[in-house]
Amino acid sequence: MNINNNTFEKFRFTVSKHGILMAIFIAMVFEILRFFNIFPPSQLIVVTTFILVAILSLMYILIQKSNIKLIYIQWISLLSVITYIIFQTALVDYHKFLPIWIDFSIIIAFLIMDKKYALGLSFYSLVGIIFIYNLGVYKLDFFSFFTLLFSIVSFSILGYVISLQLNKYEEDNKRQKEKLKQLVLLDELTQIFNRRAFFEIATKLLKQANRENKKISVLMLDIDFFKKINDTYGHEAGDEVLKKVTCIIQKTIRENDIFARLGGEEFVILLYDVDIFDTKNIASKILEAIRKHKIIYKSNKIKITMSIGIYCIDTLNTNDNIKEFLLKSDQALYEAKNTGKDKYVFYKEEK
Ligand code: GH3
Ligand code: MG
Ligand code: MG
């Protein structure tokens, strides 16, 4: 029954995973270029690149393990990349375009992380750049330094806006899924569980009853002479009766009983943790409440009655299934219909 689809989580996971791979790739390319003397060789930079690649590779291995929180991996990876860039910016003098990678990392952070974590990274970048600049080892002039700070702030604002929009989509998506779930599980007219939901939930409840050694009862309910109501007052009146009957029954049963509309004017109730006396009691209460209630439709007073077939189960086996129980209560319902209606009948084992 798990319809909860986490498309956005999948997106964040995929971007993180491939982002780590991409960062490793870019770092390696720079090292290869350095190897061919396209960039000036520097032992310190080779060492820091090695450390970065080692951390990122570890993160790439860890991200595949489901027991580690994604946010830790994202955080460590982005923090390492940004620290590496700040460090490199301070060390090398071919730095003109290097700081752009910080802006890029910040945008990625807003795409894959919660806003507050991404903002934390922006703040870290700003502090890091200012710190390095104040150390005097930073090789950019003041104007370029200022441009870099300005770009980090601008990209953070852009990232924040993107993140807000993404969150909005995510919320809408969740709401739509919730709606879809209701459409799939609820009966449109009465807004109680439909046949499909009943089978799913009842199957789980049977297992629980078996584990907890609880008794259950399955009640099949059917409105008497419903066709006549439709024929006399119209289909809309029939619908009104179905809704009213649902309300009346809902008031009679407990919250943890399952109540569903199987289709047409047929309902089912699964009573949990009840013996035969409780079941009789509840069935009589339902019949009486329905009998007493007059449904008013366009100034017509419609009187209705119901018939109930009941199957009580004392001890459940692991291989019991709800379909079989429904058949038995249906058999009892058939007898109730044939012996006068407006009554309940218990299923009797044929000898
Ligand atoms: P019995 O007392 O033996 O149960 O007879 P009945 O007339 O209640 O039962 P029958 O199965 O002959 O008729 C059921 C009717 O229910 C036929 C169908 O038109 C009507 N029906 C089924 N679904 C709906 C619905 O959603 N709304 C309305 N208004 N009528 C429905
Ligand atoms: Mg009927
Ligand atoms: Mg029927």
pLDDT, tens digit, for every residue of 323-333?
999 999 999 99
pLDDT greater than 50 at residue 3 = no
Highest mean pLDDT among 8-12, 57-61, 146-150: 57-61
Instruction: Please check the confidence at residue 322 and state whether its pLDDT lies above 50.
Output: yes
Q: How many Cβ atoms sit within 10 Å of the Cβ of residue 54?
A: 12
Could you say which ligand is closest to the alpha carbon of residue 229? 1
Burial (CB count within 10 angstroms: exposed 0-12, middle 13-18, buried 19+), residue 43: exposed
- Reply yes or no on whether the pLDDT at 256 is more than 50: yes
What pLDDT does residue 285 have?
Answer: 97
- Residue 251 alpha carbon to ligand 2 centre in Å: 21
Indicate which residue's Cα is closest to atom 12 of ligand 1: 227
pLDDT digits (tens, 9 = 90+) for 126-142: 998 888 888 776 566 78
CA of 240 relative to ligand 3 center, distance in Å: 16
Under the banding of pLDDT at 50, 70 and 90, the label for residue 99 is confident
Confidence of residue 4 (pLDDT cuts 50, 70, 90): very low
Relative to the CA of 263, which ligand 1 atom is closest? 23
Mean pLDDT score across all residues of the chain: 90
Query: Which of 33-42, 70-79, 252-261 has the lowest average pLDDT?
Result: 33-42
Mean pLDDT value of segment 33-58 = 87
Determine the distance separating the centroid of ligand 2 and the alpha carbon of 183, expressed in angstroms.
25
CATH topology classification for 195-346: Alpha-Beta Plaits (3.30.70)
Find the range with the poorest average confidence among 41-45, 215-219, 240-244: 41-45
At residue 97, the pLDDT reads: 67
Nearest CA to ligand 1 atom 10: 227
Q: Nearest residue CA, atom 23 of ligand 1?
A: 264
Please state whether 298 falls in left (phi above 0), alpha (psi between -120 and 50) or beta: left
Q: Read off the pLDDT band of 271 (50, 70, 90).
A: very high
Q: Does residue 87 surpass a pLDDT of 90?
A: no
- Confidence at 44, pLDDT banded by 50, 70, 90: confident
Q: Which atom of ligand 1 is nearest to the CA of 226?
A: 8
Ligand 1 closest atom vs CA 241? 29
Angstrom distances, CA of residue 107 to CA of 101, 104, 267: 10, 5, 55
Q: Provide the residue ranges of all domains of the chain, joining segments of one domain with +.
A: 7-182, 195-346
Q: Which amino acid is at 72?
A: Y
pLDDT at 138: 59
Pocket of ligand 1 (CB under 6 A): 189, 222-227, 230, 235, 238-239, 242, 264-265, 337, 341
Which one, of 145, 161, 70, lies nearest residue 111 by Cα? 161
Please state the φ and ψ torsions of residue 165, each to the nearest 5 degrees: -65, -45
Can you give the pLDDT at residue 2? 32
Q: Is the pLDDT of residue 55 over 90?
A: yes
213 contacts 302 by C-beta, under 8 angstroms: no
Task: Give the list of residues 6+ apart from residue 311 with CB closer than 8 angstroms, or none.
Answer: 217, 218, 325, 328, 329, 332, 346, 347
- Residue 345 pLDDT: 97
How many Å apart are CA 65 and CA 310, to the nearest integer? 50
Return the best residue to mutate from 187, 236, 265, 267 for the ligand 1 pocket (most ligand atoms within 8 A of CB).
265
How many CB atoms sit inside 10 A of residue 264's CB?
12
pLDDT band at 94 (very low <50, low <70, confident <90, very high): low
Ligand 3 centre from 287 Cα, in Å? 16
Residues 6+ apart with CB under 8 A from 31: 46, 49
